[in-house]
Amino acid sequence: MGDRLRVLWDFDDLDGTWERFEQALEQQTSAAERAEVLTQLGRVQGLQGDLAAGDRLLDEAETAAVDSPLARVRVLLERGRLRRSGGDPQAALPLFVAAFDLATEAAEEALAADAAHMAALAAADHSEMVAWTRRGVELAERATDPDVRYWLGPLLNNLGWACFAAGQYEEALEAFQRALRARERDPRRRAEIETARYAVARTLRVLGRPAAAAALLEEAVAWTRMVGEPDGWFHEELAEAYAALGREADARQQARLALPLLTATDASFKDDAGRASRLRALADEPPAEGIRD
């Protein structure tokens, strides 16, 4: 079964999302349905950084959710997300596990896949993360509901980055390629498709296949130009791929496009002097003030 409330979410517009859920709250006809919507309002509060307000809304939802397994799943999921956002993944994990078990028992497959995804993110180590991801992937692969199958993309993407961070690049490539295929089944989500393409390309370059990486990145960059939404990460990685191919002028052009975008939008870039110096070297620009090689 799909998630009826997911259509109201826009993670790039939390104020608008809040307004839609407030309106939805007034339209619910039962205490259980109101409890479901309250959990989503609590999630918005958590994403906006007000964890205490989120908890208060979840307390209200929990009181009304006693007779509804679906509402109780949502309470567990959002309580876990608040704990993880608060920097306590150890407290979050059992909540996600309980949400997965209850959602599975209630045949709420989309929420079960979401819970497996969150349990993987809160896992204590790589092996536990992989185990939870595989559990979610198996569930999503069996499903016919597109709301459930959607979770293949996020689950496999997270698995890919976990393998990448562990230096398991072949395993990362397999996961990213599967994630890309899953994303491509829904052409409406083009930004997610191109982000998945970037992940495949980055791994190919690390594996010594820069030509294949560049071809994918050129496609991703072309899309950003078409929609007028340039992406510094795409340009940075294409600069690296061109550099690996000995295409110095092309690498310089891409690095010069990446620098202002990353400086403006990517906090990790600002805090990583080595990365910034590398990109400036590719751009053939002097180090920024305060940064030395």
CA angle 145, 161, 99 (to 5 degrees): 45
Kindly give, in sequence order, each residue whose CB lies less than 8 Å from that of residue 232, ignoring residues fewer than 6 positions away: 257, 258, 259, 260, 261, 262, 265, 266, 269
Structure confidence by residue, pLDDT tens digits, 34-76: 999 999 999 999 999 999 999 999 999 999 888 899 999 999 9
Give the model's pLDDT for residue 106: 94
Taking the mean position of all CA atoms in its chain, how far away is CA 162? Answer: 13
- pLDDT, position 7: 87
State pTM to two decimals.
0.85
How does pLDDT run along the chain (293 residues), one tens digit per residue? 668 888 899 988 999 999 999 999 999 989 999 999 999 999 999 999 999 999 999 999 999 888 899 999 999 999 999 999 999 999 999 999 999 999 999 999 999 999 999 999 999 998 999 999 999 999 999 998 988 999 999 999 999 999 999 999 999 999 999 999 999 999 999 999 999 999 999 999 999 999 999 999 999 999 999 999 999 999 999 999 999 999 999 999 999 999 999 999 998 998 899 999 999 999 987 655 544 44
Q: Which of 158, 155, 224 is nearest to 190 (CA)?
A: 224
Tokens 């294409």 label which residue? 238
Which residue type is seen at 194?
E
pLDDT recorded at residue 287: 59
Distance CA 203, CA 185 (A): 22
d(CA 279, CA 262): 10
Residue 66: what pLDDT? 81
Question: What is residue 242's predicted lDDT score, i.e. its pLDDT?
Answer: 98
Q: What is the pLDDT of residue 72?
A: 95
What pLDDT was estimated at residue 288? 55
What pLDDT does residue 274 have?
Answer: 94
Q: What pLDDT, on a 0 to 100 scale, did the predictor assign at position 219? A: 97
Residue 12: predicted pLDDT = 86
